[in-house]
């Protein structure tokens, strides 16, 4: 069975339909594998360099030594040598959205007494 990346490369689609950046980013997890993919994020394709965000400098160093193998896997997944170099960049971990522990305080009162008075006057006389 042939990979989708190879089939897309053979179809000769218009550039807007076969966006190289989208293809390279989508192929990253397949080329890198589950364990590496869990600690990285393919951010962008700049010319022929894939920018990959890694968790820290240790991941950057380890993956830099595996760049040759990752490039080979990317070329195999894409069906063509679209990516010539991988730039590993350590990025801080993004915070996921989380639920507030308490509700927001009521907006009916303003802590400053002068502003509270102005607020009440504007609210009830408007």
Question: Given this model, what pLDDT does residue 119 score?
Answer: 80
Question: Given this model, what pLDDT does residue 105 score?
Answer: 62
In sequence order, the β-bridge partners of residue 67 are none
- Look up the CATH number of domain 4-90: 3.30.300.180
Question: Given this model, what pLDDT does residue 41 score?
Answer: 93
Question: Given this model, what pLDDT does residue 98 score?
Answer: 80
The whole-angstrom separation of Cα 78 and Cα 63 is: 20
In terms of Cβ atoms closer than 10 Å to its own Cβ (0-12, 13-18, 19+), residue 106 is exposed
- Report the predicted TM-score, pTM, of the whole model to 2 decimal places: 0.62
- Tens of each residue's pLDDT in the chain, 126 residues: 566 666 666 666 665 556 889 889 999 999 999 999 999 999 999 999 999 999 999 999 999 999 999 999 999 998 889 999 999 999 877 777 888 777 766 666 677 888 888 888 887 775
Question: Given this model, what pLDDT does residue 70 score?
Answer: 96
What is the b/e burial string over 23-38, where b = at least 16 CB atoms within 10 angstroms of the residue's CB? bbbbbbbbbbeeebee
For the chain, what are the domain ranges?
Answer: 4-90
């Amino acid at each position: 069975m042939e990979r989708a990346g190879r089939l897309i490369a053979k179809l000769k689609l218009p550039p807007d339909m076969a966006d190289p950046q989208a293809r390279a980013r989508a192929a990253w997890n397949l080329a890198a594998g589950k364990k590496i993919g869990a600690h990285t994020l393919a951010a962008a394709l700049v010319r022929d360099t894939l920018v990959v965000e890694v968790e820290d400098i240790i991941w950057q160093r380890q993956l830099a030594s595996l760049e040759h193998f990752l490039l080979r896997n990317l070329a195999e997944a894409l069906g063509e040598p679209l990516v010539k170099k991988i730039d590993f960049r350590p990025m801080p971990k993004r915070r996921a959205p989380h639920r507030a522990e308490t509700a927001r305080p009521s907006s009916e009162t303003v802590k400053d007494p002068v502003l509270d008075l102005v607020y009440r006057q504007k609210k009830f006389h408007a």
